[in-house]
Chains A and B, each alone.
Chain A
Amino acid sequence: MGRIRHILAGFAALATLGLSQAWADVTVLGWPGGPEEAALRKAAEAYNAKAADADKVKLIFFNRDGFFDKLAADLAAGSKDFDVNLLATYAIGRYAPFMDPIALPATAKDVFGEKVLATMQYGGKQYGVPTDLSLHFMYYRKDLIDQLMADPAWKKRYEEISQKQMGKTLDPKSPDDWNWDDWMATALFFTKSINPDSPTRYGTVLQMKNLLFNMMVWHSTARSQGGDWMDASGKITVNSPAFRSALELYKKLYDAGASPKDSTTYEYAEANAAFGSGQAATMLQWNAAFGDLDNKDKTPAVAGKIGTAPPPAGSAGRFTHIHGLGLGLNKASEHKESALKFIDWLAGADAMEIYAKAGGSPALSDSLTAKMAADRPDLVKLGQYAGQYGFVMNGGTAAKALQVYELQAKEFTAYWSGAKSIDDALAETDKGMAELLKP
């Protein structure tokens, strides 16, 4: 009898555990499969520990591939399966008709700053709390660059390669001072097929898959040469010297063998695998990669040897694409009051500290970032770079911005793979963008 009582008590305990999840009234759809998911899980755990039963949140995640397509379909269908959903700066225009604007607590300004809050605004209204800021670092192997700067034989070889491959003699520089030529010369130096003594197989790893996110990575190159989607009058300006030279830079590196042969199918994960294996000396990549790449359990080959710098400078300066990821309110939600409680909590300093320590990348005020500098040195740079170098292309938050990225991905990857000439690729892109972005 005693044993039966124990067993029943065990079942009751399990049922209570399940019930506490079942009592979760607010469903949050987050960005899957990376540090953002890990951070959101930790934040939700902390929130649920203190929230009333009716306000507790449960998390769901779609697949990363096709995430925004599925979100568009669900929102358009008026899905009530989630109350709070992921939002991105470049997609607000697309999803705003299906979401409710929100009013964050006044303290959110102190936590994030106006510029970061603006990444979740559209048409002058706030649509989400900015949980992560995404921009790009130039990742490089500190150990190899240090040796390049110190070793006379390596320096000499570097000069020879730059002269032979680029027609000009360059000297190695610190990545913080790089322009695109310096990066190219470094990438060529660390490519084994060009320099048999290179310790790495490739000098860099380019993300050239036909994918909209890869365009965002590449845009730093175009912008730094003065490129933009449109001028002030709304005329499309992609068929320009800036875009042309930025496209040619990638093509030259790929054709020279400085990037893996399958780079035309590479995106975030493949590029990380290449750099993390220790076989690529540099990589232009999202800031979110730092945590995993510097983790000695996940990437022992390069952990502790990684440096980060802003993307190299062009004739117009140094720039990095910037966008925010955040969470906003589904118009069709039936738990708006509870959902807003979670969003408001997330916009607070305590919540963001939990989120950041768990791997998320929020762009916070200096004082908050300083508190976490020891655990997350990359967040210090994140804030600095966002302020100093961050840009959004003119038209980058338009209702059809996603379609513009898709068009560019298709045309520019056609050029990089040799399927199209640069003139045709730029002309088709120009024509398509004029149609997509017409007022």
Chain B
Amino acid sequence: MTVSNFKRSLRREGYALIAPLTLFLLALLGFPLVVDIVYSVSRVGFENIRRPELSGFGNYAKAIADREFWSAAWFSLRFGLLASLLEVSLGLALAIFLAPLLGKRSWLMAILMLPMMVAPALVGLMYRLILHEFVGVAPYYLDLWFGDSPAFFSNDNAFKTLVVVESLQWTPFALLILHSAYAAISLDVREAAALDGAGAWRRLVYIDLPIMAPAIAVTFFIRFIDSFRVFDNVYTLVGAGAGGATTSMSIYIYQAFFKAGDIGLAVAASMLLLGGSFVILFAVNWAGARAARA
């Protein structure tokens, strides 16, 4: 067999091996995407869900012209950025601070991961009880110690409460990744820096953090995606909020789909979100490739 025949045969084998997964993904992701594209350019509700009427790009225009679409996008952006910044910062601080302890007793990590194991919807329900003025633990003790407790869910405070609840649940995720990244830093590098007279702070700033930078960036990116598309805990905790104050993009799409029964608008909004995500993804990739070339 010649080399080119061999390469061709290897290629055919490769295609055959990935074909089942590709077909599965096409069916699972591709078919819904095609249906979404059709729905996004149709007049469709529950009554004619199997017989959408094509209507052009009116749904896209409606979503773009809707003030609430942009308000939801802004809420999701702020929430995503703030929550992921908080989670990564706390996760990083804990990864470094707890490194000696976790190094000796790695089983402690399983306990620290527990908040992540709780379904987000349940977390929302849980905090609805914990923060309730009359039956909640937090207001009871705040009232006892300080004579008052804040209105956790008022329009002024709801956003901050949601960010804190989200961060409390997902900081362990950041901790897990950053702890692994911190533990992977070679001791030789630290010892060499120490021998050169670098103190703990300089070793952290000039050795540890630069080496961990890719892990920090990836963790932030993953948490941002997750927080941006938040639904469960916000919906169960405060719903869409008074006047739509806590309406995230996911809640906006949910409301348009189920409450208003405007399926075309809901799908168009989600397609706009998908498009926006691709733009950001390409921008990040381009910036990363440019930095690598430099």
Chain A interfacial positions (CB closer than 8 Å to B): 65-66, 69, 72-73, 75-77, 94, 97, 208-211, 260-262, 264-265, 270, 273-274, 277, 279, 400, 402-403, 406, 410-411, 413-420
A403 touches B260 (CB 8 A): yes
B235–A274 touching, CB < 8 Å: no
Instruction: Give Cα distance in the complex from A417 to B132, angstroms.
Output: 18
Q: A273: which of B132, B154, B242, B260 is its contact (CB, 8 Å)?
A: B132
Given contacts A69-B259, A262-B152, A265-B158, whether A208 and B49 have CB atoms under 8 Å apart is no
Instruction: Tell whether, in the assembled complex, residue B258 and residue A73 are in contact, meaning their CB atoms are under 8 Å apart.
Output: yes
Task: Report the interface size for chain B: residues with CB under 8 A from the other chain.
Answer: 31
Q: Is the CB of B49 within 8 A of A416?
A: no
Binary per-residue interface labels of chain B (238-272) against chain A in the complex, 1 for a CB within 8 Å, 0 otherwise: 11111111000000001100111100000000000
Interchain residue pairs with CB less than 8 A apart (30): A65-B236, A72-B258, A72-B261, A76-B47, A94-B261, A208-B242, A210-B239, A210-B240, A210-B242, A210-B243, A210-B244, A211-B239, A260-B151, A261-B154, A262-B151, A262-B153, A262-B154, A265-B158, A265-B241, A270-B128, A270-B132, A273-B135, A274-B134, A406-B259, A415-B243, A417-B243, A418-B155, A419-B155, A419-B243, A420-B243
Complex CA gap A362/B189 in Å reads 77
Q: How far is the CA of A413 from the CA of B129 in the complex (A)?
A: 22
Known: A65-B235, A210-B244. A261 touches B259 (CB 8 A): no
Dominant secondary structure of chain A at its interface with chain B: helix
User: Are A261 and B244 interface neighbours, CB within 8 A?
Assistant: no
The reply to whether A73 and B46 form a contact with Cβ atoms under 8 Å apart is: yes
The CB with the most chain B CB atoms within 10 A, among A406, A417, A418, is that of A417
Q: Is B46 within 8 A of A419, CB to CB?
A: no
- Given known contacts A77-B49, A262-B133, A419-B245, A410 and B235 CB-to-CB distance under 8 angstroms: no
Taking A403-B260, A413-B242, A420-B243 as given, write out 15 further A-B residue pairs in contact, using a Cβ cutoff of 8 Å, ordered by the A residue number.
A66-B258, A69-B258, A76-B46, A209-B239, A210-B241, A262-B133, A262-B152, A265-B241, A270-B128, A273-B134, A277-B134, A279-B134, A417-B155, A418-B155, A419-B243
What CA separation (Å) do A261 and B260 show in the bound complex? 29
**Which of these, A75, A211, A413, contacts B243 with CB under 8 Å?**
A413
Minimum C-beta distance from A93 to chain B (A): 11
Given contacts A65-B236, A265-B153, contact A414 B243 (CB under 8 A): yes
* Given known A72-B261, A76-B47, contact A417–B245 (CB-CB < 8 A): yes
